[in-house]
Amino acid sequence: MRPLIAGNWKMHGLSSQLAEIEAIAASVKLRPTHADVLVCLPATLIARASSLAAGRIAIGAQNCHSEISGAFTGDISAEMLRDAGANTVILGHSERRQHHGETDAVVAKKVEAASRAGLLAIICIGETQLQRKDGKALAVCGNQIAASLPDSMSMSVNAVGYEPLWAIGSGQEPTPDEIVEMHEHIRECLVSRLGTRGRTIRILFGGSVNPDNARAILALPEVDGALVGGASLKATDFAAIIGVVPAEP
């Protein structure tokens, strides 16, 4: 499967940082890669970034509302993101689940909205440190997948992002065996839910991925790419992670 290297800028980025997007796009132009490259930005930067990216890298968003439009002050619909130039949206990131009370059911509605608008969705799941310690990690993530995927078969899920909560921004990461065990479990869940289509959905690993550990993580079975937070903010770091994927012949 063609890998996906996706950046998540979270609530970082002013106009001055658009130079990083230009630099990431330039690095992909210089060394065409056998990966899809995506940067999910604050909504305020999407339109300008997508014109700077000039199709060399994709631009995405980090959340959307489930309705098309309406009296939802401060919210942004999937259609608006698409209109601004996004082609993907991250949904169910643990920071949204934690700070905005997003449940699996809310995430499922947003995935439907993304499909309706023609956006690809990256659905994030992951366990807490306590859940892992208690031996519940596989069950927690399996349940999140079951409940965060909508029933509609027309959904356009690009990827599932496995992001153990305790690995995000912490510099900690699971062992390679733990990553493989979880990614294989996620694959089984996707196939049992979606049949052969479940084999076409990428499973990304996220949690403190950086230029030093990316090669080892991306080489693991069932790891189809990475979701990168902190290390996507600097073009040099993000380009180094992209550089782990072989260049296009």
Query: Least distance in Å: CB of 191 to ligand PEP?
Result: 25
| 8 belongs to an annotated ligand binding site | yes
Q: Reduce the secondary structure of 151-166 to three states and give it as a string.
A: CCCCCCEEEEEECCHH
| Segment interacting with ligand PEP (CB under 6 A) among 50-58, 111-119, 134-142, 202-210 | 202-210
d(CA 249, CA 247): 6
Question: Exposed, middle or buried: residue 50 (CB in 10 Å: 0-12, 13-18, 19+)?
Answer: buried
- Given a contact cutoff of 8 angstroms between Cβ atoms, the answer to whether 199 and 187 are in contact is yes
Q: Does 209 bind ligand PEP (CB under 6 A)?
A: yes
- Measured between its terminal Cα atoms, the distance across the chain in Å is 16
Among 28, 66, 230, 237, binds ligand PEP (CB under 6 A): 230
Active-site residue flag, 93? yes
Give 85 or 161: the residue with its C-beta nearer to ligand PEP.
Answer: 161
Which pair of structure tokens corresponds to residue 158? 């690009």
Which pair of structure tokens corresponds to residue 220? 């693991």
Task: Tell me which of 102, 127, 163, 222 is the catalytic residue.
Answer: 163
Give 10 or 187: the residue with its C-beta nearer to ligand PEP.
Answer: 10
Give 78 or 168: the residue with its C-beta nearer to ligand PEP.
Answer: 168
Active site amino acids: 93, 163
Give the residue ranges of the annotated binding site for substrate.
8-10, 169, 208, 229-230
Q: Which residues bind ligand PEP (CB under 6 A)?
A: 8, 10, 163, 168-169, 206-209, 227-231
